[in-house]
Amino acid sequence: MSNLFRDNLYNEFPDPNKKIDEIGEQTEQLQSSLTSVQDVLVDIGRFPKLGGEVNDTLRFKRAFDFLKARGGGLVSLPASEFVVSNIKIPSYCGIKGIGRKSILRAEDNSGVPVIELEASDTKFTYLSDFSILGNKTNQTSQNAKGILYNGSETGSKDIALNEWDARHTITNIFIKETKGIGFEISGRGESQIDNVQVRDCADYGFYFNSFDNWVSNISSGSNLKTGIVITSKGGSSRYINCKSWNNGQGAASVDDTYGFKLTGVQGAILSACDAQANLNHGVYMSDIRGCFIHVNSELNGSRGLGLVTVDSAGFYLDGGMFNNIIGTCRNIRNDQQIQDYAVTLAGTANANTVNITSMAMNKGGVNDTNNRLSSNNVSVIADTADYTDVSSRTKRYDSLGVGTGANKNIAPLWVTSKDTDNAQGALIQRTTTTSSTDNTLITTESINGASKVTLKIKANITNQQVIYDTGTNEARFTAKIKSNDKVIGATGLGVGNSAAATTLGTVTKKMEVFDANGTSLGFVPIYNSIT
């Protein structure tokens, strides 16, 4: 007879020996998994110093050699300080610390970057969660940089992933007191750089010489030179929530001590950025094109440091075309009246849209150094320390709409401007090299089925004529008036070449005369001679 209690008990509580075997198998699998993880995330402690090694540099080399043999991985740093000269990062490898207390310190007189790429075509590296101390007081060379990612613009294709771009990831890094540039990147892009902070460097803070990158949440402050530099190779990148502050500290001159400096850049986006208390202009832009600049620029200019920034500006646009610049400028009224102007227009700046709101500027809203206001769409609302409004002459137009506005039912394009700014409110401007021909300015058509009536308004610059042309009838207005239809003068017609005469010749033609409403008044005879 079966024991119902016993059978149910074994169902609820399996054989203990069998269960122990299962646990043993799971433990072996876990140990195997841990061994695999340890091979791709190795603690630097696994690679101690060898005899004769004076710093930790070769420890990192041995760690990366180990990882490269396994296809890549990360070197893990504890909360400790490591003295190094130059760490070279291979492809598919990186360094991960536990935060600010994982420190790489540059050795004395290193003359090289703390971190750089193993080769110019190195790809897919990863840096996160550690600090770099540049030890600048014990360095003699500007090559003693923090991070130098000096990649190639061409490089070679990654065969495994069929990828040309570098695609590095760099996040949560703190760089301080380097003799050279704090962070520099060149070459191919698509890299992501986030939450990197640089300060107190004896050179530039950041130097972006690489295109097509994502840059976000970076901070650059108290550096000797400009905080954030973007070169002509740094275009087509996004720079979001970036701050550049207090740069130019200890500089011998105000040259190259801006918050942001963009030179020859095309297609870059700066959004929700801040330029604060830099020695020179907040945002300096030279010959940039097609960029979107959205920055708060405040308190920029010399601050009693024995240096004078002449006509400091929140935004300084030297040349450049087709840019959209939006921002705010601020001084602290009656306390820190540092920034002279909200905007300076210089060089050949043309076809840019500039929209700035500012307060308490030292001198005014716009510093137009080369008569560029008429060549750009500029709207600046500003006042000075004594609340004087200085915005009335800075607008090229007050409002512009396409298919919108009060007259949208009758005009697809409309412009309103001040009475004193009629030239700047011009609806159409046509530039031509064929000044002797009739150049069409406006064409309007009325179409009803197969019937079409066209009116063209033209201009002939050489003849100083405005022409109304329907195709069958034409009216030209110049020093001489010619019309294929009636010419009506509401207040009369006059001639300027009259002379005294008494003897009439023979009537050869007649000319009909109309009143102001176009009603015929009769005819005037035309004589073949009058003497």
Residues 101 and 148 both lie in one domain: yes
Q: Please tell me the predicted confidence (pLDDT) of residue 423.
A: 43
Q: What is the 3-state secondary structure (H, E, C) of 469-515?
A: ECCCCEEEECCCCEECCCCCCCCCCCCCCCCCCCCECCEEEEEEEEC
**How much is the pLDDT for 304?**
61
Q: How far apart are CA 320 and CA 94, in angstroms?
A: 39
- Residue 395 predicted with pLDDT over 50: no
Nearest to 386 by CA among 360, 357, 356: 360
Q: What per-residue confidence (pLDDT) applies to 8?
A: 54
Do 503 and 478 share a domain, yes or no? no
Residue 500's pLDDT band, with cuts at 50, 70 and 90, is confident
pLDDT-based confidence at 450, cuts 50/70/90? Answer: low
* Residue scoring higher pLDDT (16 or 44): 44
How far is Cα 433 from Cα 224, in angstroms, rounded to an integer? 50
Percentage of the chain exceeding pLDDT 70: 76
pLDDT at 306: 74
For tokens 């208390």, what's the residue?
277
Domain check: are 140 and 91 in the same one?
A: yes
Which pLDDT belongs to residue 41? 92
The tokens of 47 are what? 């690679």
Q: Specify whether 504 is located in the same domain as 463.
A: no
* pLDDT tens digit sequence for 232-272: 999 899 999 999 999 998 899 999 999 999 999 999 999 99
Judge contact between 452 and 445, C-beta under 8 A: yes
> Greater confidence, 501 or 447?
501
**Over 60: is that where the pLDDT of 499 sits?**
yes
- Write down the pLDDT at residue 485: 67
Residue 218 within any structural domain of the chain = no
pLDDT-derived band at 135, boundaries 50, 70, 90: very high
The mean pLDDT of 500-529, rounded to a whole number, is 84
Does 219 map to a domain? no
pLDDT for res 463: 80
Do 522 and 373 lie in a common domain? no
Do 22 and 130 fall into the same domain?
A: no
What pTM, to 2 d.p., does this model score? 0.71
- Of 2-16, 36-50, 327-341, 455-469, the range with the lowest mean pLDDT is 2-16
Beta strands per DSSP E along 299-412: 313-318, 324-330, 341-346, 353-359, 364-368, 377-381, 399-402
Q: What is the mean pLDDT of the chain?
A: 83
Which residues form the domain of 505? Answer: 499-531
Question: Which residue is associated with the tokens 């042309």?
Answer: 469
**Residue 27's pLDDT is what?**
54
pLDDT in tens, 47-91: 999 999 999 999 999 999 999 999 999 999 999 999 999 999 999
Do residues 458 and 440 lie in contact, with contact meaning Cβ atoms separated by under 8 Å? yes
The pLDDT of residue 462 is 82
On whether residue 246 sits in a domain, the answer given is: yes
Q: Are 299 and 276 in contact (CB under 8 A)?
A: yes
State whether 19 and 97 are in the same domain: no
Q: Would 492 be classed as within a structural domain?
A: no
Q: Are residues 194 and 306 in the same domain?
A: no
* pLDDT at residue 320 is higher than 70: yes
pLDDT at 403: 39
Same domain, 246 and 127: no
pLDDT over threshold 70, residue 18:
no
pLDDT of residue 175: 98
3-state SS string for 406-427? CCCCCCCEEEECCHHHCCCCCC
Find the mean pLDDT for residues 464-476: 82
Domain for residue 440, yes or no?
A: yes
Tell me if 169 is assigned to some domain: yes
Confidence band of 318 (pLDDT split at 50, 70, 90): very high
Does the residue 122 lie in any domain? Answer: yes
Rounded to an integer, the average pLDDT of 178-201 is: 96
Inside any domain, residue 423: no
* CA atoms lying within 13 Å on the CB side of residue 282: 30
378 plus 515 within the same structural domain: no
The residues, ordered by sequence, that sit 6+ positions from 507 with a Cβ below 8 Å of its Cβ are: 525, 526, 527, 528
- Are 529 and 454 in a shared domain? no
Cα angle 132-136-138, degrees, rounded to a multiple of 5: 120
Question: Do 159 and 252 have their domain in common?
Answer: no
Exposed e or buried b per residue across 261-298, where buried means at least 16 C-beta atoms within 10 angstroms of its C-beta: bbebbbebbbeebbbbbbbbbbbbbbbbbebebbbbbb
Bigger pLDDT: 361 vs 23: 361
Query: What token pair was written down for 56?
Result: 């930790």
Share of the chain above pLDDT 90, in %: 53
Identify the three-state secondary structure at position 237.
coil
What is residue 455's predicted lDDT score, i.e. its pLDDT?
Answer: 85
Q: Is the pLDDT of residue 332 over 90?
A: no
* Number of structural domains found in the chain: 5
